[in-house]
Amino acid sequence: MSLDVKTHYPLQPHNTFAIECYADTFIEIASPEDLGGVVQRYNGGPFLVLGGGSNLLFDQSQIHTPVLWANLKGIELLETRDNEVIVRAMAGENWHEFVQWCLQRDYGGLENLSLIPGSVGAAPVQNIGAYGVEVKDTLYQVEAFNLSDGTIRHFSAEECQFAYRDSFFKHAGGSQWIIVSVSFRLSRHDHQLKLDYGAIRTTLEAAQIISPTIRDVSEAVVAIRRERLPDPRQTPNAGSFFKNPITDRQAYEQLIRRNPEMPCFELADGQVKIPAGWLIEQCGWKGGQLGNAAVHEQHALVLVNLGGATGDEIMALAGEIQNDVKLRFGVMLELEVNPSSRATPS
């Protein structure tokens, strides 16, 4: 089967920041055979792998590295055990639709991750997380294709080296892999609900739900997210632009002495997570604007494209925010979003 190669292909519809950008070469990966064709034709890369474009910032107007759109489809039940199932979804499946597929069959574990934009294949790359749950909690295996030599490898959760919004696939050596499918170990009936994060419990109580099911939890999460987060179709954005910084105890003690009102979350390993949104807000950036790029008025962690912003403009705003937070708090904010220039040589 021949490869579907497009040239000077517009990427604006493929990124939730709605940045105008063109790929010199754009290849849709719709079948595993396409991957073999890519290795043969492009001699091992490099490539930029694209899922739903909800965590990428195109900070170049033209991408010279071939862009591979991971659009493999399919979901299947691999195994049924006493109280668990193993389910595999191909990388190009929409994440939220996959979560709904699981909920319809009463498979539990992903309900708190409802409505996160993007694809199944990108979920382990970032170790996506929300409302007290991360993908690593239920991940069974990642099937990935090596774009350098055409081999397939199965990574266990341990081999994925998950951390907060981080995994093996974001580091040197990891970028030569394209994730083909992801398998999850989910509960069948004895579900362990996680209700104590954010407004899940109060939302369920307000709906007078006393014994919630996994579907009730998902619906509560969807309602909270719809109310609180800007919809990229109306306000182009890529969710949290920065990671919440994690400091050791000593650095935290110094910070809290100077800023006694600073919120924080104690982590199990003794470190402390500080909400980046609070730091940004203290620096006066909430609702702030630089050219066509802005900080959302209700969410200081979300940068938005007001219309016609370039990736450079968004990065310039991000740089100003990083400088101000560093000056005032001595904390360097790390990007959660992936700039395309860091993944591809120009």
Out of 18, 125, 133, 214, the only residue in the binding site for ligand FAD (CB under 6 A) is: 125
Kind of pairing between the strands at 289-290 and 293-295: antiparallel
If one asks whether residue 130 binds ligand FAD (CB under 6 A), the answer comes out as yes
Whether residue 33 lies in the annotated active site: no
User: CA-based angle 224:228:232, to the nearest 5?
Assistant: 115
Judged by beta carbon, residue 129 or residue 212, the one nearer ligand FAD is: 129
If one asks whether residue 128 binds ligand FAD (CB under 6 A), the answer comes out as yes
Whether residue 165 lies in the annotated active site: yes
Out of 109, 118, 212, 311, the only residue in the binding site for ligand FAD (CB under 6 A) is: 118
Binders of ligand FAD among 164-193, rule CB under 6 A?
Answer: 169, 178-179
Out of 239, 245, 277, 288, the only residue in the binding site for ligand FAD (CB under 6 A) is: 239
If one asks whether residue 129 binds ligand FAD (CB under 6 A), the answer comes out as yes
Q: Give the whole-angstrom CA distance, residue 27 versus residue 34.
A: 9
Kind of pairing between the strands at 177-187 and 22-29: unpaired
Catalytic residue among 175, 183, 240, 340: 240
Judged by beta carbon, residue 181 or residue 310, the one nearer ligand FAD is: 181
Cis amide bond preceding 46, omega within 30: yes
Q: Give the whole-angstrom CA distance, residue 338 versus residue 59.
A: 10
User: CA-based angle 131:284:270, to the nearest 5?
Assistant: 40
Report whether 277 contacts 288 (CB < 8 A): no
Catalytic residue among 165, 175, 181, 218: 165
Shortest Å, Cβ 325 to ligand FAD:
21
Whether residue 240 lies in the annotated active site: yes
Q: Give the whole-angstrom CA distance, residue 222 versus residue 219.
A: 5
Binders of ligand FAD among 67-96, rule CB under 6 A?
Answer: 70, 91
Q: Give the whole-angstrom CA distance, residue 286 versus residue 203.
A: 26
Number of residues that bind ligand FAD (CB under 6 A): 33
If one asks whether residue 19 binds ligand FAD (CB under 6 A), the answer comes out as no
List the x/- string, 26-65, binding to ligand FAD by CB under 6 A: -----------------------xxxxxxxx---------
Q: Give the whole-angstrom CA distance, residue 235 versus residue 232.
A: 5
For tokens 């199965």, what's the residue? Answer: 154
Out of 112, 218, 247, 338, the only residue in the binding site for ligand FAD (CB under 6 A) is: 338
Which distant-in-sequence residues (6+ apart) come within 8 Å of 258 by Cβ?
Answer: none
Q: Give the whole-angstrom CA distance, residue 280 versus residue 262.
A: 12
Instruction: Tell me the catalytic residues.
Output: 165, 240, 336
- Catalog residues that contact ligand FAD under the rule CB under 6 A: 16, 49-56, 70, 91, 116-119, 121-123, 125-126, 128-130, 169, 178-179, 229, 232, 237-239, 338, 343
